[in-house]
Structure 1
């Protein structure tokens, strides 16, 4: 059995500089720890043309159902300006009860808590558990998420293997442990709208066609409310994130103008109905345009049931607070897992994730480990 506690294991993982996509160092270390516990580990590398190969890890203890899965990622975002950190980003130092390092909050400490919770659960039993424990850990959640979780799920389907319920360890708590469990997420739809013109000299506008005024007309139609939200979700929201004409000259009318926007949408829309509504609005501008879409995830809601009850009950038992069941925030790989099984998310405090001096409380890492162990007892104990 492992002798590492969750904080020590977190430090080992943080010190492996797995900036997205993880090249495998952190995953290999994790596989070694899980093999020691008796997990059967599969390192799965996937790639597509034009993308980097990404290693992933699927590990399972037991063969019987139900299969309870912990899911997460070892890849981390870049550190940014390293000289702005008060502690080296990958030193994984503990100072004043806080563990510092890139990935401490998002989400290597939660992965460490997965492993130690499983170890304690298995070590404390006189009989085999009433099911299996698995870990699905990807190396590209912070990147394009093309060669990660969804391809591991495809691999499982091809093997005829099923996950029955899943807990993702993303940092779900805004400022204190126990505040929030994610039971769903809004979808994310990206659009790139392009208006064509004709390049020319600004002194001879009759010999050119400026695309910028027409692009402005199209973008103006995207303003306004999309929906009012509902009991489970906040309102859908569209943000224009970029306008570009590729023109560095002060006396040239550009040949085209384009803009990128993103919509975080709730279950009042399907991707198809949302595209139809946005297209209707843009058509009302009465100008020619082209639109390219990219859907990075649909909205989903995990209905109340054994999984949400177990996580909520474990949080309340350990921390003495009843967590809010929420669908706020960005996307996670739960958007892929929801197609196979019920999925919820609970992890550490996310206030410093992706920031300089990312850190989490050592006490919170221990509390999270206890919660994960209790979830295992409630669901397959």
Structure 2
């Protein structure tokens, strides 16, 4: 197992050294392609396009035959590093210092990709290609971006090619404090919107010749802020609505603006459907607006539904592997933000398990080398259980 774990570490370093700031490929997919093809995987690179979004390169790799068809999913794109001078080590240098591997993407999520790639490579090296099923990789370069030309289209493409997936692990950093804390078995949905009020621009000294949109907007926002969506349930935290931005576009002190808008995001549980939540928000604004309020409401197209995975073979198999390697049984969680699992859940049961996420998106993002090695061991143990040797008890 040591060779596999060392490969996980060196591959993570090499991936970090690829400056794949979303949506740039940065050499990361090329690196994976070379490693996987060298082990016998069939690899295809696919670039998808759409209006008003950048083109994005993606990768699909597969080995084995028939069902069950298991998928590892992840993304090689990373968020910008910010000021390089603020980092203890270069954000794309992949330096190991005092047992920590530093670099943008170390935990989110090049480390996770390196761990499951190393596990799959070791599994295939030992078992060959006739192991009683298929292992595939779905790797996108669009998770940190608009998420339009990545996993969504890659999944559609895979279905059109005849691929039927039975289960998936997304290698996102799911653990809050230590490796083994939690498996994500679901996520709350996300709905973003913009509420705007139009008025009449004018001079502040002559308010009767203008119509200030700000008081009306504040009244609408107060109604949204007072909205209590639900109490949560045994599976999910309560839904919450947050005002995230206010914009007037007026730098002058003597001008009444013509328009004011606010942006909001709702993280919602399975007490709601997407259509039901949109209707609720619309009704709240309609009730709060008076006849003088010229308002509009736009819901963004990147909304996602909540979901909960119920697949004992996947969940218990992964929990068993985590417990065997870490000594603790992971909690089954639905907390946190969104991930590409929200798309994959429409194709097969999906869970998320990866590294500790405390440094993701931060300066000096880093992963403990020991955690990276243990994660590779967890993935390998899971594969051994998911594809048992014929005749084994």
Please state how far the C-alpha of 1:45 moved relative to its aligned partner: 0.3
Q: Report the CA distance shift for 1:126/1:88 in structure 2 as closer, same or farther (over 3 A).
A: closer
Please state how far the C-alpha of 1:49 moved relative to its aligned partner: 1.9
In the alignment, is the contact (CA less than 8 A) between 1:245 and 1:256 conserved in 2? Answer: yes
2:199, 2:5 → 1: CA distance?
66
Which residue number corresponds to residue 299 of structure 1? 306
Which residue number corresponds to residue 180 of structure 1? 182
Deviation per residue, 1:232-254 (Å, 9 max, x gap): 10000100001111101100000
Deviation per residue, 1:232-284 (Å, 9 max, x gap): 10000100001111101100000011000000011100011101111111111
1:363, 1:128 → 2: CA distance?
31
In the alignment, is the contact (CA less than 8 A) between 2:64 and 2:129 conserved in 1? Answer: no
**Which of 161, 164, 178 is the equivalent residue of 1:162?**
164
Deviation per residue, 1:31-63 (Å, 9 max, x gap): 110001110001010011221110000000023
Which residue number corresponds to residue 198 of structure 2? 196
For the residue of structure 1 that corresponds to 2:88, the secondary structure is coil
Mapped pair 1:258 → 2:261: yes
**Which of 335, 345, 349 is the equivalent residue of 2:352?**
345
In the alignment, is the contact (CA less than 8 A) between 1:297 and 1:335 conserved in 2? Answer: yes
In the alignment, is the contact (CA less than 8 A) between 2:188 and 2:335 conserved in 1? Answer: yes
**Which of 148, 151, 158 is the equivalent residue of 1:149?**
151
Instruction: Calculate the TM-score normalised by the size of structure 2.
Output: 0.95
Which residue number corresponds to residue 272 of structure 1? 275
2:195, 2:31 → 1: CA distance?
44
2:106, 2:5 → 1: CA distance?
20
1:18, 1:6 → 2: CA distance?
19
Please state how far the C-alpha of 1:2 moved relative to its aligned partner: 8.9
2:362, 2:136 → 1: CA distance?
30
Mapped pair 1:362 → 2:369: yes
Which structure 1 residue ranges, 5 or more long, are not aligned?
A: none
1:365, 1:73 → 2: CA distance?
17
Q: Report the CA distance shift for 1:142/1:127 in structure 2 as closer, same or farther (over 3 A).
A: closer
1:50, 1:207 → 2: CA distance?
39
Q: Report the CA distance shift for 1:32/1:194 in structure 2 as closer, same or farther (over 3 A).
A: same
Deviation per residue, 1:50-81 (Å, 9 max, x gap): 21110000000023111100000000000012
1:92, 1:78 → 2: CA distance?
15
Instruction: Calculate the TM-score normalised by the size of structure 1.
Output: 0.98
Q: How many residues get paired?
A: 381
The CA RMSD over aligned residues, in Å, is 1.4
Which residue number corresponds to residue 239 of structure 2? 236
Please state how far the C-alpha of 1:124 moved relative to its aligned partner: 2.1
Consecutive aligned runs of 4 or more in structure 1 exceeding 3 Å deviation: 1-4
The worse-fitting range, judged by mean Cα deviation, of 127-136 and 247-256 is 127-136
For the residue of structure 2 that corresponds to 1:222, the secondary structure is helix
1:1-381 to structure 2, matched below 5 A, reads 5-23=7-25, 25-125=27-127, 128-224=130-226, 225-287=228-290, 288=293, 289-294=295-300, 295-381=302-388
Please state how far the C-alpha of 1:23 moved relative to its aligned partner: 2.4
Which structure 2 residue ranges, 5 or more long, are not aligned?
A: 389-393
